[in-house]
Amino acid sequence: MPDLDALRRRLVAFADARDWGPYHTPKNLASALSVEAAELVEVFQWLTPEESAGVMEDAESAHRVADEVADVLAYLLQFCEVLGIDPLRALAEKIERNERRFPVRPGGRLRD
């Protein structure tokens, strides 16, 4: 499988070949990311929690879910690209902050 960086480079080449640069402001890419995230939410909006766990059993909804995951990741990588953000580093640093912020407690389910 290609790694994240190889996919990022393919997305950049893809947008460049189509002259999409002018559309790819950080503001527009953040909006596009949120629209794709909403399309993922839409798959689940009327499902019970139990039904939501079974979406991959139906071929059509499985395809739709994977497709929306791809769209979210694509816009996230393109957003990071135009702002020079390393998403893996950002996540690694966040996990470290969260490990301090939410210490493990015996028996404790604790959410922000």
Question: Which residues from 12-51 bind a second copy, rule CB under 8 A?
Answer: 14, 17-20, 22-23, 25-28, 30-35, 37-49
Q: What is the CA radius of gyration of the chain?
A: 17
Q: Give the binding-site size for a second copy (rule: CB under 8 A).
A: 76
Which of 60, 100, 101, 109: binder of a second copy (CB under 8 A)?
A: 109
> Judged by CB under 8 A, does residue 89 bind a second copy?
yes
Minimal distance, residue 60 CB to a second copy, in Å: 15
Sole residue written with tokens 């929306």:
68
Which of 59, 100, 101, 108: binder of a second copy (CB under 8 A)?
A: 108
Minimal distance, residue 94 CB to a second copy, in Å: 3
Alpha-carbon span 94 to 111, nearest angstrom? 16
Phi, psi (degrees; rounded to nearest 5) at 108: -100, 115
Contact 44, 55 (CB under 8 A): yes
Q: Which of residues 59-88 bind a second copy (CB under 8 A)?
A: 65-67, 69-74, 76, 79-80, 82-88
Two tokens, residue 106: 């015996």
Report the candidate in 17, 18, 13 with the shortest Cα–Cα distance to residue 78. Answer: 13
